């Protein structure tokens, strides 16, 4: 049902959420302050952490939407999902199941490795022009895609990052040349960095929770179909709750908001904390011909 392996995506998501992320091709805009607001310091350490989380959110959202589009052409002829499409299944360590019930194709896969474990659940519903579920994607007008996942490391006595999330989107206009996507995406990360000298450099614990709504994300059909998943237009607004703890000090919670505006593969991002804001522009993808 996916053109990429679920495990690879989860591992990639974990890597970019635990280590620093650089938005290639992005630049911070030195725009004039709006009334009652002021530009933030680009070196603010909390801002850099939140910007990292927003970047991870954008990358994962586009990847998951792409996976939803790819599900259109990955169904076997018996209309049941084959878990093999999600990558190799080890019968000794992994479990997999797929069903078709109440108009939904559902896949569940769990992997238990020596150093980490993952689990994911995909639910896909193809719909005709009247919104009625149909067993396959032939001639459909819209679809619903739900994706839930977790990633947990086995050894929490060393540096680690555990993650989990949920995406829920509806895709309309699939019988036209422009798809319209609305829905939500949420993920959370719990990470810890241990110090070799806690008295000098205390251990650090970080929890980040991101919740956002996708509003009228439009993707044009190309000669490659929909799978490029590059937004032509649309917006997204969300919140980030960041909880940090250094050593034995009390945890510190900060709350942030962000807004994204897409324009033919480019994205403008505004992040706010109280009356302070930061803006940046970035090419997140390229719209194919």
The C-alpha R_g of the chain, in whole angstroms, comes to 20
What pLDDT score was predicted for residue 64? 94
Q: What are the beta bridge partners of residue 238?
A: 212, 258
Q: For position 35, what pLDDT does the model report?
A: 60
Return the pLDDT at 207: 95
pLDDT tens digits, the chain, 289 residues: what are they? 333 333 333 333 333 333 333 343 466 654 444 667 899 999 999 999 999 999 999 999 999 999 999 888 765 545 566 676 777 788 888 898 888 899 999 999 999 988 999 999 999 999 999 999 998 888 999 999 999 999 999 999 999 999 999 999 999 999 999 999 999 999 999 999 999 888 888 999 999 999 999 999 999 998 878 888 999 999 999 999 999 999 989 999 999 999 999 999 999 999 999 999 999 999 999 887 7
pLDDT of the residue at 93: 84
Q: Are 133 and 104 in contact (CB under 8 A)?
A: yes
Please state whether beta strands 142-153 and 116-127 pair in parallel, antiparallel, or not at all (unpaired): antiparallel
The token duo for 183 is 């829905």
So what's the pLDDT on residue 36? 72
pTM attached to this predicted model: 0.85
pLDDT value, residue 91:
80
Two structure tokens written together for 233? 């237009």
Q: Which residues pair with 264 in a beta bridge?
A: none
Q: What is the pLDDT of residue 203?
A: 93
Q: At what angle do helices 6-18 and 45-70 cross, to 10 degrees?
A: 170
Question: Which DSSP string corresponds to the chain?
Answer: --SS-HHHHHHHHHHHHHS----TT-EE--PPPPTT-EEPPTT-HHHHHHHHHHHHHHHHHHHHHHHHHHGGG---TTS---GGGGS---TTTEEEEEEEETTEEEEEEEEE-SSEEEEEEEEEEEE-TTS-EESS-TT-SEEEEEEEEEEEES-TTSSEEEEEEEEEEEEE-TTSSEEEEEEEEEEEEEEEE--SSTTTS--EEEEEEEEEEEEEEEEE-BTTBTTT---SEEEEEEEEEEEEEETTSPPEEEEEEEEEEEETTEEEEEEEETTEEEEEEEE------
> Which residues lie closer than 8 Å to 216 by C-beta, 6 or more apart?
180, 181, 182, 233, 234, 235
Please report the pLDDT score of residue 79 as a whole number.
Answer: 53
Backbone angles phi, psi at 226, to 5 degrees: -100, -15
What residues have CB less than 8 Å from 24, skipping those under 6 apart?
Answer: none
């Amino acid at each position: 049902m996916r053109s990429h392996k679920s495990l690879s995506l989860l591992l990639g998501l974990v890597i970019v959420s635990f280590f620093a992320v650089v938005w290639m091709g992005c630049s911070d805009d030195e725009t004039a302050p709006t009334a009652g607001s002021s530009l933030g310091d680009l070196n603010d350490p909390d801002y850099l952490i939140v910007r990292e989380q927003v970047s991870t959110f954008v990358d994962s959202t586009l990847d998951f939407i792409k996976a939803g589009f790819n599900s259109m052409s990955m169904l076997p002829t018996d209309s049941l999902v084959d878990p093999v499409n999600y990558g190799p299944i080890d019968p000794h360590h992994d479990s997999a199941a797929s069903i078709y019930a109440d108009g939904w194709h559902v896949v569940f896969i769990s992997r238990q490795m020596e150093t980490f474990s993952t689990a994911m659940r995909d639910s896909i519903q193809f719909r005709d022009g009247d919104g009625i579920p149909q067993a396959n994607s032939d001639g459909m007008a819209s679809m619903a895609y739900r994706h839930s996942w977790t990633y947990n490391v086995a050894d929490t006595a060393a540096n680690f990052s555990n993650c989990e999330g949920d995406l829920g989107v509806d895709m309309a206009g699939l019988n036209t040349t422009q798809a319209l996507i609305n829905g939500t995406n949420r993920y959370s990360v719990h990470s810890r960095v241990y110090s070799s000298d806690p008295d000098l450099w205390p251990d650090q614990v970080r929890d980040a929770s991101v919740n956002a709504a996708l509003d009228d994300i439009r993707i044009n059909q190309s000669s490659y179909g929909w799978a490029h998943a590059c937004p032509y237009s649309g917006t997204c607004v969300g919140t980030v709750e960041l909880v940090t703890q250094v050593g034995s000090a009390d945890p510190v919670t900060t709350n942030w908001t962000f807004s994204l505006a897409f324009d033919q593969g480019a994205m403008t991002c505004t992040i706010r904390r109280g009356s302070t804001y930061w803006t940046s522009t970035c090419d997140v993808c390229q719209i194919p011909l």
